[in-house]
Amino acid sequence: MSTAEDYAEEILHGPAGPQIGAFLDFDGTLIDGFSVNEFVLNRLRHRELMPRDLVRGVLGTSPLGAYRLARAGIGKETCDRDLRAVYEFALALLSGRTETELLQFGRRVLWEGLAGKLRKDAWTLVQAHQRMGHSVVLLSAATRYQVAPLADHLGIEHVLCSPLETLDGRLTGRLGGPPLRGPVKAQAVDAFAAEHGIELTLSHAYADSLDDIPFLETAGRSCVVNPGKELSRAAAEHGWHVLHMDGRPVPSPITFARSVAAGGGMLTGVGTGLGTVLVGADRRRAAELGLRFGSDLCLGLAGVRLRVTGEENLWLHRPAVFLVNHQSPLDAPIVSRLLERGYTGFAKKEARRFPVLAQAAEFLEMVFVDRGSAARTPEVIDSAVRRLAAGLSLAIAPEGSRSLTPSPGPFKKGAFLVAKRAGVPVVPIVIRNSGQLMWRNAKTIRPGVVEVVVHDPIDVGSWKVRDFGRKVEEVRRLYIDTLSRWQEIPAPDEADPAAGEPAPAMAAESGEE
């Protein structure tokens, strides 16, 4: 059984070009679980669908239909009739909607839950294929409105799905043809390959179900994901790779308890630090002490450990603008633990509603930002420059908000403009796995290891205005390259703190013209 990182390395040392296909199944392979569940739960949460509607829908089916729904819900492997029953039951609840409305609904579900099901290992494989210029294709028995929003977010151009039946531009509540599974999925791959000039003998296929065997047989390099006994046997007979990919298990009662304790620990630690002001402590020192104590309690009680490479770069040049990729609520205590002292940052104006944290932010001289007021941007930049001039470092997420997936979103230029005006470097901090332990919308924290790479400082002082957009994108590319090729990063105990030359990946970021 191989790891996704090992297989990604094989991809990166193999043939390149769009004639190589990378065909990925969606449910159970790219994401953990079934997307239809997220769509039904989302409608229930928004009260667009009531439990009685589900009961009425089941009772309204024939006894055979109800039996098929139950059987499909129990087992991972389902026949075409069972799967069709599930999808037509779900689609009937959306009858009358336009496809545009369905895609908007799909984007909402993506942001509110589905993106949290993305497998980190599958993302690593997608990145490797895209880096090699392969034609990446998502295939699914699900419908386009379930798959396309995540495909768009990952930069995947090609999506093959089960068709929807429409009448006068509106969904009828039925599928428009056979579900894309089994031999039908294999035929779709063959047709796509013929149309786009794909060399299937050199191409890759990934799937997790027995019914995908015909699909897996179409490609020269196929991988089965987390297979059961029968699929493992088929993989051995065909000589296919077997990949283990981590999922996102349902939180246990212990995880819930630890998460509550972690939140309480953060508030307790911060409150304790702030309390030292009453006995004469400096306000900044009190806030820094409280955040360090609170972060240690939060991460420790949640069972989260940090593994940091390049830690010396946190202290090599102060003040500096520290850039952090932001995917998780865990990033705040992680950054606090890394920077420790002599820093400030940005805080949303809504943070003032939480007295303890608002007091700490005020003592740290954080800049409160109203993201809805673009007119105040120059004032915010001026405030940040003044803090750097006073000797304080600045921590900022250049994306401006938490990203949906491990891929950093587009970087804004503000942090780089601040660094250029203040005459200080930017220091990229790449955080890996925080989103796996606590996704952006999650309420619980899974125990585990968060890995961090602190890259060499980057001098932005020589950047020309006309090149700013390109340079900022190069820094963003550094994050993506680091995250997708993490196995090349030396472990902390192997890192050489005395190494004076910048890493090769930094050559493009040097700022030299």
Nearest to 84 by CA among 183, 167, 163, 168: 163
Read off the DSSP letter of residue 502: P
Is residue 448 packed enough to be buried (19+ CB in 10 Å), middle (13-18) or exposed (0-12)?
Answer: middle
The three-point CA angle 58-78-236 to 5° equals 165
Which letter, b or e, does each residue of 406-445 get, where b requires 16 or more Cβ atoms within 10 Å of its Cβ? bbbbebeebbbbbbbbbebbbbbbbbbbbbbbbbbebebb
In the numeric block, which tokens belong to residue 100? 């545009």
Nearest to 437 by CA among 249, 243, 225: 249
pLDDT (0 to 100) of residue 16: 96
Q: Is the peptide bond before 319 cis (omega within 30 degrees of 0)?
A: yes
pLDDT (0 to 100) of residue 39: 86
pLDDT (0 to 100) of residue 72: 42
Nearest to 257 by CA among 298, 294, 302: 302
Read off the DSSP letter of residue 210: G
Read off the DSSP letter of residue 47: T
146 CB-side CA count, 13 A: 30
pLDDT per 10-residue tile (average), the chain, 513 residues: 86 96 96 87 84 57 45 48 64 81 92 92 95 96 92 95 88 85 95 98 96 96 94 95 85 90 92 86 89 94 96 95 95 95 83 74 80 66 92 93 89 93 97 92 92 96 92 96 84 48 35 36
107 CB-side CA count, 13 A: 7
pLDDT (0 to 100) of residue 276: 87
Q: How many residues does the chain have?
A: 513
pTM of structure: 0.82
Please answer whether residues 294 and 273 qualify as being in contact, where contact means their C-beta atoms are separated by less than 8 angstroms.
Answer: yes
Q: Are strands 170-175 and 164-167 parallel, antiparallel or unpaired?
A: antiparallel
Alpha-carbon separation of residue 487 from 6, 29, 176, 206, 490 (angstroms): 8, 22, 44, 21, 8
2-244 CATH: 3.40.50.1000
Domain ranges of the chain: 2-244, 253-492
DSSP reduced 3-state for 203: coil
In the numeric block, which tokens belong to residue 328? 């998780």
Which letter, b or e, does each residue of 151-190 get, where b requires 16 or more Cβ atoms within 10 Å of its Cβ? bebbebeebbbbebeeeeeebbbbbeebbbbbebbbebbe
pLDDT (0 to 100) of residue 493: 56
Q: How far apart are CA 197 and CA 201, in angstroms?
A: 12
Q: How far apart are CA 378 and CA 384, in angstroms?
A: 10
Q: How far apart are CA 505 and CA 503, in angstroms?
A: 5
pLDDT (0 to 100) of residue 509: 38
pLDDT (0 to 100) of residue 441: 86
Q: What is the 3-state secondary structure (H, E, C) of 368-436?
A: EECCCCHHHHHHHHHHHHHHHHCCCEEEECCCCCCCCCCCCCCCCCHHHHHHHHHCCCEEEEEEECHHH
What is the CATH class of 253-492? Answer: alpha beta
Nearest to 22 by CA among 153, 116, 123, 161: 123
